Amino acid sequence: MDVSFVGVGTMGWPMAANLLKGGHRVTIYDIDRARSALFCREHACAMAEQVQELASAGVIITMLPDSRSVRDVYLGSAGLAHVLRPGAIAVDMSSSDPSETRELGAALKLRQVTLLDAPVSGTVTRALSGTLTIMIGGDDRDAIERVKPLLSCMGNRMFETGSLGSGHAVKALNNFVAAAGFAAVAEALLIGGRFGLDPTMVLAIMNVSTGRNFLTENVMQEHVVGRKFSSGFTLGLLAKDVRTVERLAEQVRMDAPVVRLVSERWALARDQLGAARDNTEAILCWDRSIDE
């Protein structure tokens, strides 16, 4: 299948590579032309210098930082919506805002372009191995079936979550739970450290007790206690996802004090340390005394 892939960042790079391994013909576009060129040299595929060069694409996949970036690709002054053929399918695999996804879907529908959301969950390691979890939202059953062969090259667990935007909603909710969990474990380790407890011992006990979770098993020892701080997911992106859930709670008129507090904590870490820092570095911001 011919497919255009927009955004070869940390996750997009291995995802696009897996499409090529799956036998699909892929054209790459990234705002960073040097990165696009490097990918295309390494993988012997076509490169678009401008996004409008993707006009003939039947399927376009975006893997970008946020909803605004995705909207610009389609609805900007030189966006794809102005040149795509009727019947094209746009698949947004970014971690976008579900409400903005629905707005974009309505705008693209006027141009006879179908939008699906298919965000992913998983580390860079899983992106490399093509074993991501993919959450598919959309209102066009035929379009979903058409793109599944593409998605199966990048993930081995696919969930159809409902109408357009539902995939992005589930992804944000998942990341909120992960962010809340990280904040809880981080504070436990900080409190324990000040009491004189060895953090490695604390994690070992948690991992055979009721506190065990993905973070205690796979993240905290290496990236926090070991101070590697290189999980591959930035502070800015995680803070953005938690803020997405906070807005979603407001939209559905849900009183969600835990969401508000977690959003506040991650926004604080982002603002103090910088959005580009690894999300595991948030603990450095939170290690503060009451009287500071």
- The three state secondary structure string of the chain is CEEEEECCCCCHHHHHHHHHHCCCEEEEECCCHHHHHHHHHHHCCEECCCHHHHCCCCEEEECCCCHHHHHHHHHCCCCHHHCCCCCCEEEECCCCCHHHHHHHHHHHHCCCCEEEECCEECCHHHHHHCCEEEEEECCCHHHHHHHHHHHHHHEEEEEEEECCCHHHHHHHHHHHHHHHHHHHHHHHHHHHHHCCCCHHHHHHHHCCCCCCCHHHHHCHHHHHHCCCCCCCCEHHHHHHHHHHHHHHHHHCCCCCHHHHHHHHHHHHHHHHHCCCCEHHHHHHHHCCCCCC
**Domain of 73: which CATH number?**
3.40.50.720
Q: What is the pLDDT of residue 123?
A: 87
Q: Is the pLDDT of residue 286 over 70?
A: yes
| 158 and 196 together in one domain | no
User: Which tens digits make up the pLDDT trace of 181-215?
Assistant: 999 999 999 999 999 999 999 999 999 999 999 99
User: Which tens digits make up the pLDDT trace of 79-106?
Assistant: 999 899 999 999 999 999 999 999 999 9
Give the end of a domain, one of 131, 162, 193: 162
In-domain check, residue 113: yes
| 117 and 203 together in one domain | no
In-domain check, residue 292: no
Give the end of a domain, one of 162, 177, 207: 162
Determine which one of 109, 148, 171, 240 is catalytic: 171
In-domain check, residue 69: yes
| 133 and 205 together in one domain | no
Q: What is the pLDDT of residue 292?
A: 66
In-domain check, residue 291: no
User: Which tens digits make up the pLDDT trace of 263-272?
Assistant: 999 999 999 9
In-domain check, residue 156: yes
Looking at every residue in the chain, the average pLDDT score rounds to: 96
Task: State residue 161 phi and psi, 5-degree precision.
Answer: -95, -15
- Active-site residue flag, 171: yes
| 70 and 177 together in one domain | no
In-domain check, residue 263: yes
**Domain of 256: which CATH number?**
1.10.1040.10
| 228 and 86 together in one domain | no
Contacts of 257 (CB under 8 A, 6+ apart): none
For the segment 22-34, the average pLDDT, to the nearest whole number, is 96
Say if CB 147 and CB 158 are below 8 A apart: no
| 154 and 182 together in one domain | no
Indicate the number of domains in the chain: 2
| 117 and 18 together in one domain | yes
User: Which tens digits make up the pLDDT trace of 35-64?
Assistant: 999 999 999 999 999 999 999 999 999 999
In-domain check, residue 136: yes
> Full-prediction pTM beyond 0.95?
no
User: Which tens digits make up the pLDDT trace of 105-163?
Assistant: 999 999 999 999 999 999 899 999 999 999 999 999 999 999 999 999 999 999 999 99
Give the end of a domain, one of 132, 162, 192: 162
One-letter amino acid for residue 83 of the chain: V
| 69 and 185 together in one domain | no
| 19 and 143 together in one domain | yes
| 20 and 158 together in one domain | yes
Q: What is the pLDDT of residue 78?
A: 86
Parent domain of 232: 169-286
| 194 and 111 together in one domain | no
| 22 and 134 together in one domain | yes
d(CA 8, CA 244): 23
In-domain check, residue 176: yes
